[in-house]
């Protein structure tokens, strides 16, 4: 059962350990693994979406599921040092743990003799940069809506002690051409982890967007906030605050930090918008954090998603009915949400998540659920506590984005016959028509995981005929029996 062992790889396996079934925690990152198969056996390559010094980004289609994705292909010959390889591994490790509605989702990774592959969500709307070129400048409401999502991304990654370090419109994609106000932050190739309260070194970034402290010495996560200030300025004016004929001229102006609101583009821009920019394009010690930017009136008072009360109540009912007591069912739901759904499937739940996420930190607290559901007269605080117990499966005290999606989306829609069949086939790694304990272990903990007894016990919770394996009917029954 499982995959054939291969030579040592650059991309490390991800493994966690549990000693009993009740301790099993299936996270979104559980299924974002190194795939030992050949990339071209799993995906069909499509057109090029862009290229750079690292290699190329191309459209691809999953042969079994039909899912449309993007793949970032790195040529191995550009990785001339161990430091280069460590940078790639760091990007992969960061992508695995990110779970936010406005950050691109990673699906899996591949490695062969010539290339590395990072398979990601495909955003059909192109780059925010291209939209700026077409529109020249944005209305205030549009700009505030986009920036609220960017600040939410930054609040989220900074809370995980990650600095992006290359925030610019080229690294912000649009979900769809018809829905350009929904964005996805991409490219964590220069991102790094940091220790709270300490500063890091290393001059990285793009001249127009780089913070002055990055150019001259140690810096903190607030370098991302400077870049966000530049983007806000560009969206409103159509040109950057620090201009020059070459990078050297631009960098000198960035170091000086002097900008103005002169020009016709600023005549109709409110003082609220200008005030936010003034709190971003300032020395690091005086600069807003992402949380402070989200609380600025110009951002706080913008309503990204107008939620219909009927949809809000429908989602509440789904949340109230969700139970995570069966670990396999919870694992299947997590797999379907993270690997098989697309933006159309999750749009309604995503919008409600954003509406409930009052402080914009990318996760839902007990207090936010109470404000969203109890005060309008939907449920009691005791009901909210039960929802938190069932939906917060990683026990971090919050409902994270994927946790919300798997509980908020209608279960009959999520666990459609087509989705269950595909999920079964993906868990049945050797194609035998049955899922073994070994295959469950490999799927949920990686190939190096130990303690097979946990997986045998998990099989027993589903195995109706006592053969020690799960067939398709048993697999479907454990999911559908909930309805």
Domain that holds residue 444: 309-460
Whether the full predicted model's pTM is greater than 0.85, yes or no, is: yes
Residue 25 lies in a domain: no
9-18, 142-151, 201-210, 439-448, range with greatest mean pLDDT: 142-151
**What 8-state DSSP symbol labels residue 279?**
T
Residue 353 lies in a domain: yes
Residues 330 and 407 in one domain: yes
DSSP, collapsed to helix, strand or coil, labels residue 209 as coil
Q: What is the CATH number of the domain that holds 109?
A: 3.30.200.20
Contacts of 86 (CB under 8 A, 6+ apart): none
Task: Domain count for the chain, please give it.
Answer: 3
In the predicted structure, residue 137 carries a pLDDT above the cut 90: no
Give residue 327's pLDDT: 87
Task: Find the range with the poorest average confidence among 227-231, 302-306, 332-336.
Answer: 302-306
The last residue of a domain, from among 65, 99, 121: 121
**What 8-state DSSP symbol labels residue 370?**
I
Give residue 12's pLDDT: 60
- Do the beta carbons of residue 21 and residue 458 sit within 8 Å? yes
In the predicted structure, residue 326 carries a pLDDT above the cut 50: yes
Residue 469 lies in a domain: no
In the predicted structure, residue 344 carries a pLDDT above the cut 80: yes
Q: From CA 299, how far away is CA 273, in angstroms rounded?
A: 9
Residue 1 lies in a domain: no
The last residue of a domain, from among 75, 94, 121: 121
In the predicted structure, residue 9 carries a pLDDT above the cut 70: no
Residues 378 and 450 in one domain: yes
DSSP, collapsed to helix, strand or coil, labels residue 350 as helix
| H or E element in which residue 18 lies | none
In the predicted structure, residue 180 carries a pLDDT above the cut 70: no
In the predicted structure, residue 177 carries a pLDDT above the cut 80: no
Task: Find the range with the poorest average confidence among 237-246, 267-276, 410-419, 426-435.
Answer: 410-419
Contacts within 8 Å (CB) and 24+ apart, 311-317: 311/348, 311/352, 312/352, 312/355, 312/372, 312/373, 312/376, 312/378, 313/378, 314/410, 315/348, 315/349, 315/352, 315/408, 316/373, 316/378, 316/379
- Determine whether 166 is an active site residue: yes
Check 23, 84, 99, 166 and give the catalytic one. Answer: 166
In the predicted structure, residue 91 carries a pLDDT above the cut 60: yes
Is 72 marked within a binding site?
yes
Give residue 142's pLDDT: 93
**Is 231 or 85 the better-scoring residue by pLDDT?**
231
DSSP, collapsed to helix, strand or coil, labels residue 70 as strand
Residue 2 lies in a domain: no
In whole angstroms, how far apart are CA 208 and each of 154, 173, 251, 256, 278? Answer: 19, 19, 8, 13, 17
Residue 329 lies in a domain: yes
Q: How confident is the model at residue 132 (pLDDT cuts 50, 70, 90)?
A: confident
Q: From CA 436, how far away is CA 426, in angstroms rounded?
A: 12
Residues 138 and 284 in one domain: yes
Q: From CA 473, how far away is CA 479, in angstroms rounded?
A: 10
**Is 201 or 450 the better-scoring residue by pLDDT?**
201
> Span 341-369, mean pLDDT?
94
Q: What is the CATH number of the domain that holds 419?
A: 1.10.238.10
Residues 106 and 53 in one domain: yes
């Amino acid at each position: 059962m499982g995959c054939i062992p291969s030579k040592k790889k650059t991309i490390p396996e991800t493994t966690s350990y549990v000693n009993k079934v009740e301790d099993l925690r299936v996270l979104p990152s559980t299924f974002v693994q190194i795939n030992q198969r050949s990339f071209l056996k799993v995906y069909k390559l499509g057109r090029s979406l862009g290229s750079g010094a690292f290699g190329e980004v191309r459209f691809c289609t999953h042969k079994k599921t039909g899912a449309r994705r993007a793949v970032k292909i790195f040529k191995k010959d550009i990785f001339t040092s161990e430091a280069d390889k460590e940078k790639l591994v760091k990007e992969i490790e960061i992508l695995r743990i990110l779970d936010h509605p406005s950050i691109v989702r990673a699906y899996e990774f591949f490695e062969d003799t010539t290339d590395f592959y990072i398979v990601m969500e495909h955003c059909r709307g192109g780059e925010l940069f291209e939209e700026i070129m077409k529109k020249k400048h944005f209305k205030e409401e549009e700009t505030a809506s986009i920036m609220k999502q960017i600040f939410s991304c930054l609040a989220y990654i900074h809370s995980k002690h990650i600095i992006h370090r290359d925030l610019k419109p080229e690294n912000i994609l649009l979900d769809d051409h018809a829905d350009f106000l929904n964005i996805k932050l991409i490219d964590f190739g220069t991102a790094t982890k940091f220790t709270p309260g300490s500063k890091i070194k290393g001059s990285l970034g793009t001249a127009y967007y780089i913070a002055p402290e990055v150019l001259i010495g140690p810096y903190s996560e607030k370098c991302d906030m400077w870049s966000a200030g530049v983007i806000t300025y560009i969206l409103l004016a159509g040109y950057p605050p620090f201009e020059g004929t070459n990078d050297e001229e631009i960098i000198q102006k960035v170091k000086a930090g002097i900008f103005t609101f002169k020009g016709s583009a600023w005549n109709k821009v409110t003082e609220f918008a200008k005030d936010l920019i003034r709190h971003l394009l300032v020395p690091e010690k005086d600069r807003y954090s992402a949380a402070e930017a989200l609380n600025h009136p110009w951002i706080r008072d913008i309503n990204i998603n107008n939620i219909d009360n009927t949809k809000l109540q429908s989602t509440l009912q789904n949340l109230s009915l969700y139970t995570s007591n069966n670990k396999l069912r919870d694992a299947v739901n997590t797999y379907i949400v993270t690997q098989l759904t697309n933006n159309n499937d999750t749009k309604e739940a995503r919008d409600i998540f954003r509406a409930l996420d009052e402080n914009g930190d990318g996760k839902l607290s007990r207090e936010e659920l109470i404000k969203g559901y109890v005060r309008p007269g939907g449920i009691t605080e005791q009901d909210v506590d039960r929802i938190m117990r069932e939906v917060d499966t990683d026990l971090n005290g919050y409902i994270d984005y994927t946790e919300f999606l798997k509980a908020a989306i209608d279960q009959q829609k999520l666990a459609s016959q087509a989705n269950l069949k595909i999920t079964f086939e993906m868990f049945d790694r050797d194609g035998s028509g049955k899922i073994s304990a070994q295959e469950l272990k490999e799927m949920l903990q990686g190939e190096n995981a130990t303690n097979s007894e946990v997986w045998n016990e998990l099989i027993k919770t589903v195995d109706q005929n006592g053969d020690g394996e799960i067939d398709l009917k048993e697999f479907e029954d454990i999911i559908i029996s909930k309805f």
